[in-house]
Every structure is written in C-alpha cells, then in structure tokens.
Structure 1
C-alpha cells in the first residue's frame, strides 16, 4: 500500500511537499479551487480596499496552504489578534499558538510585514523630515504600533534635517526598554548627524509618557546639548495615536 493510501489527508498543517508547492492545484477540491480563483479575480479587478481583512488574509494563506480551505484559519487569526495589521505584526511564537499555523504561514505573514515596513521606510529615508512629517508618522506606526514589547529607535538627521539613519537602540519588555543616552549621542557623532528624533512604542496602546520616559528624554537632551546636537522631538507611538514631546511641552 502506498504512503498516500495509508494517510489520505496528510497535509493538515501548512507545510506542503515540494510537488504541491510547484503545482498548488494538484488534488485540490474543486470548490476550494473555484473559491480561490474568484477571490484572486476580485482582488485583481477591484483591489484590496473593498476586501475585508479575512479575505486579504485568505489570499496570503493560499500560498502557504495549497489544498485546504483557509477561511477558518483566517477567522481564527483575526479572532485572536483583532485585525490584519496585528496579525502580520504578531510574534512567531504567538502566531504558532493558533492551530494550523506552522513555518510556511509565519513566513508568508512576515514577508508581508517586512514589505510594508520597507515601503513606508522608503518614503522617509533621505527626505526632509519637516516636509514629510506625515509619512514619518506613518512609518513609525507601521513599524512599531503593533509590537508586543517596547522598542526604542533613533532617527538621525543631517544639517538640512534630512533623515540619514534609522536605528533600533534597544528592545525590552512590555513596559520597559533600556536606553543609554551616551550611546545615542555617540552614535550621532559617528554618523556625522546634526540632529535626532527619538521614537519608542507603548504596547499598552496609550502613548502617555511615563516618568522614566521623561527622565530618559531629559538625559538625552542634556547629552545632545553638550555635544552641539539638536533633539527635535521624542515620539511615543500607541496603537492608534502618537504623542509628541515637543507638541506637549516636554521639550
């Protein structure tokens, strides 16, 4: 008896043999094939805007899971994480907690996350920050708003306020990230930067600064002042809003 006869439904997880990856419709039930063709056609004709999150997720999952109906998995992901953005931004570990999610699904989701971040980044790098402020905020939200732990980034600018570097200085827990003011200022000198913008996220979703956030900002501002550097702002990114230290009078 052949291997397939002994195991009539061997592809319950997202991993599929190379033959099926190369020919994803092989052995696929006709109703699944028809549904996928209809969904792809709607996407090509009308774009993503009118599509609900679960259908956009289905389109991604088609590539990772060649033969199975992926709508239940798309629904399960949205039930757990809330929306499309939070699904693709979720950690590998949390994604794999969902029944049916394996390496192939995680890889597809993380490719999309990386592409979204790269597109947003391209709109701000080597651009004048003041004239592209909205794009800068969009980039910060794309890369940081849905993270489950705090991350601290520094945007380094040249004398014309053009963004020349965007660097993660540290990652931490759900409510703390270690930051070293001297290292931030030292890195600015290495890059020949003249100014900087600090950015970090609050996984809680509330961008209100903590006492530690204010103290750390003051320390970095003092270090910048001693070296002739300008600290333009410190942005705290929440789930759907951001707070500017400059606008709120903290700087």
Structure 2
C-alpha cells in the first residue's frame, strides 16, 4: 500500500493528510506532489482508492504511502503513530513529517430538533476529538518549524439549517487551531484553519455536485457565481504549507468564492 522512493527522497518534505484517499484530501495531495512534496495519505476502508492516489502521486514525480486510519477511533492513534514511524523509516529513511493536515471528515444533515445523540457523538469523534488527540499523539513526529492545517468549513461562519451539529464541531476546530498555534509556537510550528465553502465532491452524498437545485442555490449566494471545485482548494492547501507562508499562523483562511458576503 505504499511506494519505495529512491534514497534522494529523504530530503523531500512530507505531509500527512488524513482522508487523503478522496475528495479534497486527494486533490491537496496531488497539488502538493506537483510542488515536489511527498505525502502519507490515510483512508478509512477503501484501500483501493488510496492505492490509486498513491499511483497518481507517483505519476507526478513525488512519493507516497497510504495507511489505514479511522479518525473517529482515538484508541487506535498510538498504533497508527507506530505505523507512521515504520513507513517513514522504510520509505524515506526519516523519523519526522513536515506537515499535518487534519482533513478527514463525514457529513450529516439534520435540524437541531432532529439530531440524535449518536449523530452528534460521531461528528464529535471524527471532527473534533479525532484531530485534537491525533495531533497530540503525532506531535513528537512533527519536525520543529513544521506546520499543521486543520480543515473547518464556511458553515462555521454562516448558518444553513440542517448543519448545526456539523458546524458546531467545525467551530470547535477553529478555536482549537488558535490554541495549538499558541502552544506549539515555541517549536516554530505554525497552525492555521482552512474553511472551504460548498465544493463539488462526493461529501454529503454529493449534494453540491449532483443536485442541480443545490448547485444553483450555492452559485446564487457566492460572489464568484458558482459552486467550488476541488481544484479551488488543493492549491490553497499547498500554498498554506509552503515556506513562503512561514509567518502565517493562528489564522482562519476561508476559500469559499465569497459565499454569503
């Protein structure tokens, strides 16, 4: 489930992208590969999807590995950290990553009146508890001077009925990012939040991509006049991780095309 790069790869920058086997995580990994950044991507159950992304990254001249991870299962994080250490030693002859992108997520659509405790708890485990404790677990594996990017949502700024529980978790992510930036700054690790708007992916059962009515509604409230595409987000991730942005930390960057401005 991974590739073995030549010895020169030991000098490459390496990013760990949770949920990198599909959607925005995949797109980010590909854009980073075009800039010469290697990736460790995680997948929850579809090893075949992850391998396809690894192959695409190889085709762009970068190197990659794929590891299984359920970000909703914090008890598995110590074992995941060991698996990551093994992958770094085996494929890069390294013991540190440069960047962590907490991207993995799930969707849920229900009014607050109809949201169940089970739905709330699952969203909390995947979107808030997971990134909090995964970052805590992986801190020893992030090099000094590296960076962390936590993915939020435009829904943490504007409100659409049916996303109250999901947006609540993303609001927590944004606060968490600021505290991480403050606490990890002594190691030169910068931490930012990326908040995408509505994007045409399979997230949320592909509603923005596949439902013409939803797509038109999104376009009508977006300054740039259309729904977002994965290629609108991947370059932003790559840019925020680049050394050119080494002085940006504790910030929320929204990439929504101007939704609800």
With normalisation by structure 2, the TM-score equals 0.26
Higher relative contact order (CA 8 A, sep 6+): 2
With normalisation by structure 1, the TM-score equals 0.27
